[in-house]
């Protein structure tokens, strides 16, 4: 007898509801949950592959510890004992900054990691905190913090109601959307067209999304800020800026107009490779649309002008009055809360950066985080504060960060490397201890992070589909225990006690906020009300009940609780995004800051930039729907078919460089060189070539048999770690100058 089980998919930001047919401990089939209130049956091949991940023989079931050159299976107690014998000693001898930590992308998709990584990171108390954020969205967060007051105050395009969507540097038909949780994005984009609206895609490649769009603007990589500021310039020059109801909440309008006075379309055209008349027309269309949303993602972030481009996106939404209105771009009101739903409404402390800096290069911290591009030098450069031990949580930085080949060499020199990961991969092969996480099907789920960026406010809870395999441990317990070792409490405190105090600290923090609806309640009473739940369930119940839709522990009896979600297995839809300004603002002024001095100070760099010489090539990245960064290449159904780690190149460039379709090309940058198969295609803008990231699975010591047979090459060998976006510390992964020649 088979039965149906529901689980939110943890593989991308779309968060689709999956409907699994299971028999005993076996998954018979995976379908989209047609009754899911948000995804309504949407599914992609990665979701189906959750069954293959669940049974993947290479997926780790037990901890591993290093014996000489080998990683061998060990008991949990042995594994914790190794960490307990080394970590506190290294901290005592060399200081807390001698231990670095990298939080990877899996933390966004795992409930355990998202709720408990703080227990470990907080326990380490190190300045050497790194994350995938500095190869991803950090520029967007810097812009959001400057304009609206918090790192997560990112306006989300209202794709379901807009009449005009501009997509810059994103390919949601492959990625399924990012900082725009919108399951079934293809359907939603076609919906815009069906109601008479338009989709315009700005991308150096005719991507799948560009092919669907009404217009494709094939701009030169790294010139989004040039183009968007020229659009703003036209809005000002032609008096088309119309703030509408935002007007009383905006500061710096005149300063912005002045700062952009020389960003004329003709000036931008020479840099972007897009005609001045096109830029003027686009500006007029944007101003005239009944509603419009400008949306920028990875291509606008992982480039040299990431912060300015992200800023420009927000500026256009505000100047056209589309920020904070239906059909435009809005802030969410997520059920488990966000920084912009807590604290006093309408005003906040804002953000100051550079309170400390990286040791070797002196790069300033941003949101208490250092660029992941400095990890290698921090490990290899001797002196006080040198990193001697390192922890990775759900990340594979050898493949995902710039100059990963050098990071690999550096990791091999560490006195202690602890990896929390589900595979022995290109990074964890260097570990002294590896702690596995259970199959996602053995863990409950709620999208605490991604709900903050969803195109509707929804709340969905997935209980674990299967009980834990005997011998497995939930990852939240691993994080608590490692946190206790890191903060000096040792490895003997019972995990229940650690969980109790972690939960209590969360509750205390919320109740201590005078603006919280729970302010004044007693911590004991709230902890009692959450009984008998423990672990992530307790924290989710608490966040829901304390959140903007919550029952506030009785004062709003109709409000959300985890029990209510458990009774609604397909989720609860809380409705479309609505206006939240001015309450959601957290800037010190209580205004939308349109002319933040730190951001405007970067304009001279933008002015000074010149396009590459004729004939020069630059490299950009891409994603494929059957791939997920560096880690889903071990699942047979996702790697079947033709090789996907290929160099895309325009026919004119192929002819000039002598490479041929189906042949092999040597691609070299100042950072390194590699050889990849060639696909000649008119989809590329001339002068631009494309390689996906996350491949290069032929490393010695990695244990992913399927991935090894489809190894591909690590594109981040070509990304140099010395050039960073200056305001955010983000890596520059798009627009890398390269030479291409036949191999
Ligand atoms: N050139 C180039 N480089 C890029 C990008 C690009 O576009 N171009 N994109 C960047 C972006 S946006 C990102 S987010 C990063 C991603 O890079 P990383 O942060 O390194 O993350 P992933 O490559 O997604 O690898 C996730 C890791 O988590 C492990 N994992 C999976 N599930 C779990 C779990 O439940 N628990 C634990 N502990 N581990 C788990 C996987 O085995 C894998 O090792 O790459 C960046 N690198
Ligand atoms: N299938 C799949 N889905 C994923 C992932 C995955 O690896 N695979 N990764 C997930 C993660 S971690 C993230 S962050 C998101 C990212 O999601 P998206 O932001 O949608 O990322 P991509 O699909 O890489 O699309 C980026 C586009 O930017 C273009 N581009 C490159 N440089 C520039 C530029 O300078 N300007 C402009 N305008 N465009 C440029 C590229 O040609 C590409 O088409 O996807 C998530 N979803
Ligand atoms: S689109 Fe994303 S969330 Fe949906 S099934 Fe595919 S990987 Fe999972
Ligand atoms: Mo990402």
CATH of the domain at 20: 3.30.200.210
Closest CA relative to residue 32, chosen from 7, 3, 2 = 7
Tokens of 166: 């501009």
Averaged over successive runs of 10 residues, the pLDDT of the chain (743 residues) comes to 96 98 98 98 98 98 96 98 98 98 98 98 98 98 98 98 98 98 98 98 98 98 98 98 98 98 98 98 98 98 98 98 98 98 95 96 98 98 97 98 98 98 98 98 98 98 98 97 97 96 98 95 98 98 98 97 98 98 98 98 98 96 97 97 96 98 98 98 98 98 98 97 96 98 97
Q: For residue 400, how far is its CA from the centre of ligand 1 (angstroms)? A: 7
Q: For residue 108, how far is its CA from the centre of ligand 1 (angstroms)? A: 10
> Can you point out the beta strands (E) in 160-301?
164-168, 198-202, 215-217, 250-251, 293-296
Q: Please tell me whether residues 621 and 599 are part of one structural domain.
A: no
Measured from the Cβ of residue 328, the count of other Cβ atoms closer than 10 Å reads 27
- Supply the CATH number for residue 264's domain: 3.40.228.10
Instruction: Give 386-413 as a 3 state SS string.
Output: CCCEEEEECCCHHHHCCCHHHHHHHHCC
Closest CA relative to residue 221, chosen from 604, 616, 599 = 616
| 104 is a domain residue | no
Q: For residue 9, how far is its CA from the centre of ligand 3 (angstroms)? A: 6
Which of 175, 211, 644 has most ligand 2 atoms within 8 Å of its beta carbon, as the pocket-test mutant?
A: 175
Domain boundary, last residue among 36, 55, 74: 55
DSSP helix/strand/coil, 688? strand
Q: Please tell me whether residues 168 and 297 are part of one structural domain.
A: yes
Q: For residue 425, how far is its CA from the centre of ligand 1 (angstroms)? A: 11
- Supply the CATH number for residue 629's domain: 2.40.40.20
12 C-beta closer than 6 A to ligand 3: yes
Q: What is the rounded CA–CA span in Å between residue 31 and residue 20?
A: 6
| 677 is a domain residue | yes
Q: How many domains does the chain have?
A: 3
- Quote the percentage of the chain above a pLDDT of 70: 100
629 C-beta closer than 6 A to ligand 3: no
- Residue 434 has, within 13 A of its CA and on its CB side, a CA count of 30
Q: Please tell me whether residues 700 and 587 are part of one structural domain.
A: no
Instruction: Let me know: does 485 contact 80? Beta carbons within 8 Å.
Output: yes
* Closest atom of ligand 1 relative to the 392 alpha carbon: 38
- Residue 637 has, within 13 A of its CA and on its CB side, a CA count of 13
Q: Please tell me whether residues 693 and 654 are part of one structural domain.
A: yes
DSSP string across 624-665: -TT--TTT-TTSHHHH-SS---EEEE-HHHHHHHT--TTSEE
**Domain with 51 in it:** 1-55
* Closest atom of ligand 2 relative to the 132 alpha carbon: 12
| 552 is a domain residue | no
Q: Please tell me whether residues 21 and 145 are part of one structural domain.
A: no
Q: For residue 426, how far is its CA from the centre of ligand 4 (angstroms)? A: 18
Q: Please tell me whether residues 40 and 178 are part of one structural domain.
A: no
φ, ψ dihedrals at 143, nearest 5°: -65, -45
Instruction: Let me know: does 193 contact 28? Beta carbons within 8 Å.
Output: no
Q: For residue 538, how far is its CA from the centre of ligand 3 (angstroms)? A: 26
* Closest listed ligand to the CA of 105: 1
Q: Please tell me whether residues 703 and 588 are part of one structural domain.
A: no
First to last CA, the chain: 56
DSSP helix/strand/coil, 724? strand
Tokens of 65: 């510890």
564 C-beta closer than 6 A to ligand 2: no
Which residue's alpha carbon is at the smallest distance from atom 37 of ligand 2? 169
* Closest atom of ligand 3 relative to the 11 alpha carbon: 7
Which of 203, 438, 629, 733 has most ligand 1 atoms within 8 Å of its beta carbon, as the pocket-test mutant?
A: 629
| 701 is a domain residue | yes
Q: For residue 122, how far is its CA from the centre of ligand 4 (angstroms)? A: 23
183 C-beta closer than 6 A to ligand 3: yes
| 561 is a domain residue | no
Q: Please tell me whether residues 288 and 162 are part of one structural domain.
A: yes
181 C-beta closer than 6 A to ligand 3: no
Q: Please tell me whether residues 624 and 703 are part of one structural domain.
A: yes
Q: For residue 184, how far is its CA from the centre of ligand 3 (angstroms)? A: 9
43 C-beta closer than 6 A to ligand 3: yes
Positive or negative, the CA dihedral 49, 52, 53, 58 is negative
549 C-beta closer than 6 A to ligand 3: no
102 C-beta closer than 6 A to ligand 3: no
Domain boundary, last residue among 590, 605, 620: 605
| 41 is a domain residue | yes
* Closest atom of ligand 3 relative to the 12 alpha carbon: 2
* Closest listed ligand to the CA of 172: 2
Positive or negative, the CA dihedral 327, 333, 336, 337 is positive
476 C-beta closer than 6 A to ligand 2: no
DSSP helix/strand/coil, 606? helix
* Closest atom of ligand 1 relative to the 393 alpha carbon: 38
Q: For residue 446, how far is its CA from the centre of ligand 1 (angstroms)? A: 19
Q: What is the rounded CA–CA span in Å between residue 380 and residue 360?
A: 10
Q: What is the rounded CA–CA span in Å between residue 500 and residue 703?
A: 37
Q: What is the rounded CA–CA span in Å between residue 109 and residue 641?
A: 27
Confirm whether pTM is higher than 0.85: yes
φ, ψ dihedrals at 234, nearest 5°: -65, -45
What pLDDT score was predicted for residue 1? 86
**Token pair 């996907």 in the structure block, residue:** 644
| 126 is a domain residue | no
Q: Please tell me whether residues 162 and 29 are part of one structural domain.
A: no
Which of 299, 631, 674, 715 has most ligand 1 atoms within 8 Å of its beta carbon, as the pocket-test mutant?
A: 631
Q: Please tell me whether residues 599 and 626 are part of one structural domain.
A: no
Domain boundary, last residue among 55, 72, 94: 55
Name the DSSP class of 700. Answer: T
| 667 is a domain residue | yes
Ligand 1-lining residues (CB < 6 angstroms): 104-106, 110, 113, 132, 135-136, 298, 302, 393-397, 400, 420-423, 425, 437, 475, 621, 629-631, 693-694, 715-716, 719, 733
Q: Please tell me whether residues 653 and 593 are part of one structural domain.
A: no
């Amino acid at each position: 007898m088979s039965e149906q089980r529901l689980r939110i998919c943890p593989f991308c930001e779309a968060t689709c509801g999956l409907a699994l047919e299971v028999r005993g401990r076996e998954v018979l089939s995976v379908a989209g949950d047609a009754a899911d209130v948000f995804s309504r049956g949407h599914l992609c091949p990665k979701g189906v592959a959750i069954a293959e991940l669940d049974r993947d023989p290479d997926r780790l079931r037990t901890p591993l510890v290093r014996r000489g050159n080998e990683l061998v299976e060990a008991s949990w107690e042995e594994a914790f004992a190794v960490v307990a014998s080394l970590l506190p000693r290294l901290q005592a001898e060399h200081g807390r900054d001698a231990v670095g930590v990298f939080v990877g992308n899996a933390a966004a998709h795992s409930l355990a990691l998202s709720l408990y990584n703080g227990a470990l990171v907080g326990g380490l108390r190190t300045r050497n905190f790194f994350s995938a954020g500095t190869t991803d969205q950090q520029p967007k967060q810097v812009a959001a913090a400057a304009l609206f007051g918090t790192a997560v105050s990112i306006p989300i395009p209202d794709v379901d109601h807009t009449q005009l969507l501009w997509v810059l540097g994103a390919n949601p038909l492959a990625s399924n959307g990012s900082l725009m949780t919108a399951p079934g994005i293809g359907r939603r984009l076609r919906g815009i067209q069906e109601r008479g609206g338009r989709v315009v895609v700005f991308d150096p490649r005719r991507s799948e999304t560009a092919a669907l769009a009404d217009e494709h603007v094939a701009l030169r990589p790294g010139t989004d800020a040039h183009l968007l500021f020229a659009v703003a310039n036209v809005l000002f020059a032609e008096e088309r800026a119309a703030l509408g109801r935002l007007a009383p909440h905006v500061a710096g309008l005149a300063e912005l107009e002045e700062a952009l006075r020389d960003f004329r379309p003709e000036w931008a055209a020479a840099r972007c490779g897009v005609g001045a008349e096109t830029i003027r027309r686009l500006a007029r269309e944007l101003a005239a649309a009944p509603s419009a949303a400008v949306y920028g993602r990875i291509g606008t972030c992982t480039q040299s002008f990431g912060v300015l481009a992200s800023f420009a996106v927000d500026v256009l939404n505000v100047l056209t009055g589309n920020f904070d209105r239906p059909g435009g771009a809005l802030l969410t009101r997520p059920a488990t809360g966000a920084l912009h739903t807590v604290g006093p409404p309408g005003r906040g402390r804002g953000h100051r950066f550079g309170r400390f800096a990286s040791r070797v290069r002196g790069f300033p911290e941003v949101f208490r985080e250092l660029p992941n591009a400095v990890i290698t030098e921090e490990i290899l450069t001797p002196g006080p504060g040198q990193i001697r031990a390192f922890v990775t949580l759900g990340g594979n930085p050898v493949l995902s960060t710039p100059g990963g080949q050098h990071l690999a060499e550096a990791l091999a020199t560490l006195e202690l490397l602890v990896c929390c990961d589900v595979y022995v991969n290109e990074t964890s092969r260097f570990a002294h201890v590896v702690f596995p996480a259970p199959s996602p099907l053995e863990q409950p789920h709620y999208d605490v992070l991604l709900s903050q960026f969803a195109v509707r406010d929804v709340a969905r809870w997935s209980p674990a589909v299967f009980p834990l395999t005997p011998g497995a441990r939930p990852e939240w317990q691993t994080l608590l225990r490692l946190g206790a070792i890191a903060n000096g409490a040792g490895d003997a405190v019972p995990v229940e006690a650690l969980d109790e105090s972690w939960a209590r600290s969360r509750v205390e923090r919320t109740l201590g906020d005078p603006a919280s609806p729970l302010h004044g309640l007693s911590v004991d009473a709230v902890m009692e009300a959450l009984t008998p739940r423990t672990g992530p369930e307790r924290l989710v119940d608490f966040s829901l009940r304390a959140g903007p839709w919550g029952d506030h522990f009785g004062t709003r009896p109709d409000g959300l609780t985890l029990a209510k979600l458990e009774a609604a297995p397909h989720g609860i839809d809380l409705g479309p995004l609505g206006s939240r300004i001015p309450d959601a603002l957290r800037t010190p002024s209580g205004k939308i800051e349109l002319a933040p001095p730190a951001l405007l100070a970067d304009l001279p760099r933008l002015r000074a930039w010149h396009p590459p010489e004729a004939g020069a090539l630059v490299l950009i990245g891409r994603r494929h729907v059957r791939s997920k960064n560096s880690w889903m290449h071990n699942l047979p159904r996702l790697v079947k078919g033709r090789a996907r780690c290929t160099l895309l190149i325009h026919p004119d460039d192929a002819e000039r460089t002598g490479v041929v379709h189906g042949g092999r090309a040597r691609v070299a940058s100042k950072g390194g060189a590699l050889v990849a198969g060639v696909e000649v295609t008119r989809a590329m803008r001339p002068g631009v070539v494309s390689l996906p990231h996350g491949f290069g699975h032929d490393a010695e010591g990695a244990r992913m048999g399927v991935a090894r047979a489809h190894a591909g090459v690590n594109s981040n060998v070509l990304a140099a770690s010395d050039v960073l976006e200056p305001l955010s510390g983000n890596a520059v992964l798009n627009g890398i100058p390269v030479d291409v020649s036949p191999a």
